[in-house]
A and B are shown apart, each in its own frame.
Chain A
């Protein structure tokens, strides 16, 4: 127990722990939709785009969150403009705009030659250096995201799974998408200083991907992703304290470790416990080939185990 209590004697660790827990929950929620929509690259891109805005904000003494937010919106607008050109697909447009924005930030820093602690935190994260203002802003955004997701849970699930049918059944997919883009951008911007531009995408994707490996049920995936996000964040702070390593990095590394363990467990479970093997059978006259598991959900009979 001493092991768990010692770090809590320091106020900056307690603050870091509160913020890490909130960011873990936030990334756990957002990550589910990012992963299931195949939008992982957007998290990566948005954080890089916001970095350009943060540097400009720093130079002109504008609030970091406002500068990064406005710049992020501008980048999204530019990406849309390029995609309308038809010849360029969204992934290429995101790559061009967000990396150019990141490069602008780097170019400006190298020109003014004042690589301050603040900007370093945006690049690599600095959980243990959070201010009370940061805690309040992150708390407000986390609460807002939880409230929005609570009331749009059904609609977001439908739109993520089958957007066209969602429209037909009366859920306005474009409105839900717009709200999701807003909460995604807000979550990334408030997480920037804590996790860092370079690590934020992983912090969003890892808890949801680990949860996806553990279940085929959306509701269970939702709560698992949040739990994994929160637990790895707090455990990551402990690891950071005892290993004397950067906290953003220890959180992401811990998440990646849990993901790897689950991945290996799944592989062993499929191959050894459930005897995964190629399987062919007929549906009426139509031959059907797939890999086959001997679990309760896939109950074909076998005379002998392969």
Chain B
């Protein structure tokens, strides 16, 4: 589904990562973990075609994304990047995911409105369809952007920190929803900071720090050695049955 070959990206005069190779198979549900400033967001933006690499190629479904964003892709940005005072209703935001399928006229068709309502209903927020986006809670806002991605009928879904700033119940609901989508055949790649509540429950993990440190199942990559290389810090890993718990193991000095 996604094939990254010798990819090098920069930010101003700094090289963010150099010559990385990564393959994400169709039908995967992969989480990219790593510290702040490790280049995770740059990596997914290169996959989305928003950041132009200085070398290397990104292929989605066998086609290079050079100059064009890959088709059939759903993207959920970090909620911090959204201007919440912008005068748009939930329906208007979700409808943006249908723009490419709507034709040249400015108004939406019956079919588009039906798709939007179905997505909102599926995510349990149909009652907010005419509400201003700012009036929703963090979890509900996250679902609005999930709905926008869904109505675009994506084959690939990319999420930047989908569980940051939402409570535990919503975190669980979002993760569960993503697993359901994945079972229906949608390939999902997400960035997460949350090792315990999110990353440990994903089938495939990519540990990233200005390059790929390791990739594999959580059982294989979540060990102190790989996490130390990823986070440049001591991380304790506690295993209890199927549960993996990770915590900062660097002692605090007085």
Contact = CB atoms under 8 A, between A and B. Distances in A.
Interface of A: 36, 150-151, 153-155, 157-158, 160-162, 164-171, 212, 215-219, 221, 283-286, 288, 297-298
Nearest to A153: B106
A216 B139 contact: no
Interface in B69-115: 69, 71, 73, 75, 77, 81-83, 86-89, 92-93, 96-97, 99-100, 102, 104, 106
A294 to B, nearest CB: 13
B5 interface: no
B49 interface: yes
Given A283-B138, A283-B139, A150 B50 contact: no
Interface stretch (B31-39, B163-171, B193-201, B215-223): B163-171
Given A168-B49, A283-B170, A288-B137, 14 more contacts: A158-B96, A158-B99, A167-B50, A168-B48, A168-B50, A169-B152, A170-B99, A216-B89, A217-B87, A218-B87, A221-B87, A283-B138, A286-B166, A298-B135
Closest 8 CB pairs of A and B: A284-B167, A153-B106, A216-B132, A168-B75, A170-B100, A286-B167, A154-B99, A158-B96
B69 A283 contact: no
Contacts of B96: 154, 157-158, 161-162, 165-166, 169
Given A165-B75, A168-B69, A170-B69, A155 B99 contact: yes
B66 to A, nearest CB: 14
A300 to B, nearest CB: 11
Contacts of A297: 131-132, 135
At the interface, is chain A mostly helix, strand, loop or mixed?
A: helix
A36 B168 contact: no
Nearest to A36: B86
A150 B96 CA distance: 16
A221 B89 CA distance: 12
Interface of B: 45, 48-50, 69, 71, 73, 75, 77, 81-83, 86-89, 92-93, 96-97, 99-100, 102, 104, 106, 130-132, 134-135, 137-139, 148, 152, 166-170
B126 to A, nearest CB: 15
Contacts of B81: 162, 164
B45, B71, B166, B167: which has the most chain A beta carbons within 10 Å? Answer: B167
Contact of A219 (B92, B132, B167, B168): B92
A219 B87 CA distance: 9
A284 B170 contact: yes
A162 to B, nearest CB: 7
Contacts of B168: 284-285
B100 A169 contact: yes
A155 B99 CA distance: 8
Nearest to A293: B135
Given A158-B99, A167-B50, A151 B104 contact: yes
Contacts of B87: 36, 212, 215-218, 221
Contacts of A170: 69, 71, 99-100
Contacts of B148: 165
27 contacts: A36-B87, A150-B106, A153-B106, A154-B102, A157-B92, A158-B99, A161-B83, A161-B86, A161-B88, A162-B96, A164-B50, A164-B77, A165-B75, A165-B148, A167-B48, A168-B69, A169-B96, A216-B87, A217-B87, A217-B92, A217-B130, A218-B86, A218-B89, A283-B170, A286-B138, A297-B132, A297-B135
Nearest to A284: B167
Contacts of B83: 161
B154 to A, nearest CB: 10
Contact of A161 (B71, B93, B169): B93
A25 B106 CA distance: 18
B85 to A, nearest CB: 9
A221 B86 CA distance: 11
A77 to B, nearest CB: 23
Contacts of A154: 96, 99, 102, 106
A169 B99 contact: yes
Given A284-B169, A298-B135, A169 B106 contact: no
Contacts of B104: 151
A165 B106 contact: no
A63 B104 CA distance: 36
B77 A162 contact: yes
Contacts of B130: 217
Nearest to B170: A284
